[in-house]
Each structure stands twice: as structure tokens, then as C-alpha cells.
Structure 1
């Protein structure tokens, strides 16, 4: 199991010490670093800036918002950065949710699986420097209307690599199966080793489909795992509870929150309902306090070093091929010692 560095997206501004984090990760032998975007900082600019100060570490997006750019624009950016970095780019894309897609990007959200499938086909065609022609339900290239002067084009930029790995962020079983069918990897957000068989079954369905790109032994699973070392388990859990409460309770409306569904499938449906009710009614502190310790421990490594070391084998034996972590340089060194 490899290690990756989670950089995420910014809050009010650039996070302090990020250059030192990246330098430490590369020195420690981390395989990759991963940026994100929602409706603030974008994923590509920090990756290019920080990538210029590294030599080996892979540059991944976790994730690029599918609705933020046309597929050809995403391909252009990835091909450009792949040249500048010497072939280190990994494209992670995700469909996000209706609040962000429709509320920020002004794009329709329905049928995200079909939209993702078309997007990936155009991405691959563009990166392979084919003349791009596509007629789908969600994307048509060239555009059939407008001035009526559009014609099929191919990239003037020759790719450094004819294929750049494309990973799909997915949480529901149908999305996970599609990641195995059309992707080079899968990016779970809240991965739990105890739910391993559920995800193995979903991936197996995708691998068995006609034309599947990969087999299980050459397929990446890149998941973010919060690691908090503290002698007191509850104190460690309190550092993660606000994040989980936000995603379970505040990301999406009732009935349209895919993160909520992940934990409900783990057996926490009643707890999720309570967290969501409290969060959406403005009682965020109570929502945070309502996140059970056992739920935190499903998706994170928390507590004394000895406890974390004891729990690590279940992560090594899981589907994860890369564990993506975050923290100060000292924390990254500690995590590296524990994991390796």
C-alpha cells in the first residue's frame, strides 16, 4: 500500500505550510499528492505550482469537478501539465452533487453516470490526439447549432503519453462498478475496510463487463484516510467529527446526499438521520457531538500509536492501493513510520 498526500481544496485562502508538506512527502517517498475543488480554489492551479517544486511524486486530482470544464478542456489541461511534469499526471474526476453542479457551475445534474461515461470517452479520444467527433445525450462535438461553422478538430499538442490514468470518484455501488468498467482506478471518499466485501462485489461487476479496461491486479484504489495520533481516542475523534458531520448532515438535501448514504449502508442510518436533522436545523455543534466514535473508527485511524499500528493490517489487506493522508511534515513522518 502506497502513501499519498491529501491537499484538498482551500478554505478562505492558501493553507500555510503546504510547500513544506509537499517537500516532506516527496522526501519520505510518497507516491502521489492530490488536490481538489468544489466552489473555491481549483484543482489544477495548485497542482501545477506545487508540482514545479517536485521531481518524482505523481500529481493527482481528487477530484476535478466534471461540470467545471468541458471534457476537451480537461484533456488540454492534463496534457499540458503532463508535459511540464514529465508524465506524472493522474486525472481524478467526479460528478459531485446537484447543489454544487447546478448551484455553482450552472449545469444540469440528472443522469450523472451517463454523463460521466460520455465525458471519459471524450477525454480518452482527445488525449490520444484523435479527431474529436462525438454525438451523445450530454455532449455533442462539434456543436450542432450556433454559427454552424464548427468542424471536428484534434489537439495541436502531441501528448507526452497516449494514455493518462483516469480515476473515477464514486460512492454508490453503480458508480463503483462503472469505475471498474471504464476507469483506471477508483477514488472512494469514505472508505471502510469493514465494508470491503460490498465494494469488492461492486468492482467485480464492473470488471466482468464486456470491454472493461482493467483487471483487479492493475487497478488503483486511492482513498483518503484521516490519521490522528493522540493518547486519548475521544480527543482524536473530535478532530474528525466536524468533517463527518458536515458531509453527513450538510452536503446535499434530504434524500440527495450521497455521503449520508455511504454511512447509512454501514449500518448507521438512524445516527445519520439524527446528524442530518440537527445540521440542517442549524444545530451544528449538536450534530458534531452526535457522530458516534464507532463511525469515526470505521473510516479513520485514531488514538495512540499502538492502537493505530494494531488496526493497520486491516487497511493493508483491504482494496486500497494508496492511502492518502494529510498533516504537518512531522505528522507525515510519523504516519510513514507507522504504515511502513
Structure 2
């Protein structure tokens, strides 16, 4: 029997990407992202500029998502949106727009936790990929978060460990800035690392609880390392860029893998799914793929388009909530520090 169409619009505006997607029974029909380039000249996201750009982008992005999906707004069954966590000004734009559109169309509203969405993106109907089986361990790694989460069901998640200071994406970006690379620097470190020797330089792995992370000390050690060597040789960075990036990436990836090994040992769960912007990093992807052979883990790595902030992941959570009758009402408000 053919499934009845159930079009749901997903809207993402937690940081500096304005995104909209349409889903129908697990299949993504459109996934549009407007990236804000203005932050590059500031070396990081400027919250006020981000919220203004969201206001400019949200209508065109939603319009394009509907057009690409080949439907009109009156065919929508519900609106899903990112409630939090994220930048308050950015979240307010998406929340206000979604509430207004749902009210105007007289259809249900579905509020989505951004971090849950990174995890549940694995349940998007993707050719050649099977979703994780419950329970599984999720590693969410991004510019704002680094967490190890036990996922027992779609909406039953427990944080087992997280960073006590900076997120891994921030460590990459700040280290890149020290090296004189442009923002966002994480992908550039990854690119340089491809041609470098990962064992050339040694950086320390911070010592914290078995499932927690810390990256502030690593950033400081990179700063002192660069200052010390540049004082001796002004061309040190230029002459060693690939090796520095490879060594830094190797340290971060092996640190993350140490924590995942601890999580598998403590929980007895060896099915791992990663999500978040840093899950696009080639080093962590390769390490996880090797872990399948070395440790017998079952690993789930998302498509690149579902790694960084996107609305497809918001749409899939919206669809899951819709099917489970978990709705929000018009009194719902953005929550910048939203937890699981």
C-alpha cells in the first residue's frame, strides 16, 4: 500500500547557517543552506550579524526549499524548527518565523533540540546506509559541543561525557588562527594534514574524567609551541605547516578515540554514530572506519551534507515527533542552553 504524503518543513537557525528542508516519509526532498560569509573577516561568528543575516535569508531559503521539493506551503502537514541550543538571536529568528508560518497555515508546530538532530540525522532515508540500532553511542562533535551520548531510543538520550571547557571545533579553529589560517580553520587544518607527518610534533592530551573532554589546555600548548619556535625561526610556520596540522589533528583524533574506547568498555555498547560539523573531518572518519576492523565496532558516519548544520536533520526529528504525537504549542520559546 502506498504511503500517504506527509510533507514536513524543517527550519534550522541555531548559529550562522540559515537552512530549510522538506521531508516526506523519511525521504529528504530538498535541503537548502544559506551560509553567512560575513563572519570570515572577523575570525568567528558575530551573534548580532548572524541574527540580522537570518532575517534576510529565511524567506528566500524556505521559498527555495518548497520549490525544490515541488510543493506549495498549503501541502505542509507541520513545521519543525530548532528551538535550541545555539545563539539566542539566531534562534529567535527561526522560532518566530516557524510559529508565525504554522499559525498562518493552521498546522502543528514541532520544536527540535539541535544536538538531538545531529544524532537522529542517521535516520534519514539514505541509499546504502542503515540507521543505528538502539542502544548506540553517539559522538557529537562541533564548534559548540563535544559530547558522548547513550541513545536508548529516539527521544531517550543520556549524556555520558562532555567537554569541561571548549568544544573540539573551537580547538581546531583557534589553533588555525594561531597558525595564521582563515576562519573557519578546522577544514584548512584537515586539508594541510593530508600532506604532513602526524608524528613530527607532540602535543599533550588533557587528563580529565574517562568520558569527559578538555581542549583549552591543548590550545594553550599550541600557542606556546608556535611562539617558542617562531622566536627561533620566523619562517617556522610556513616551513612546517603540513606537519604541524597533521600532528595537531592526530593528537585530537587519538584523544577522541581514547574516549570512545572508554565509552565502549564502560557501556558494553560497540555501535557508534557520529554527528556535528567536525564529523566531516577526514582524520576522525578514517579512525572510525579502522575501528570497525580493529575493534569490531559497528560505525555510522553521516553524509557530508548532514554533518554541518542543516535543516534535513531538523526535518527528520520533526517527522519522528509528528508520528509520535509530540507537538509544541504557540507559547514555545527559543532556549539557547537547551539540554537533552
TM-score normalized with structure 2 length: 0.33
Larger relative CO (CA 8 A, sep 6+): 1 or 2?
2
Higher relative strand content: 2
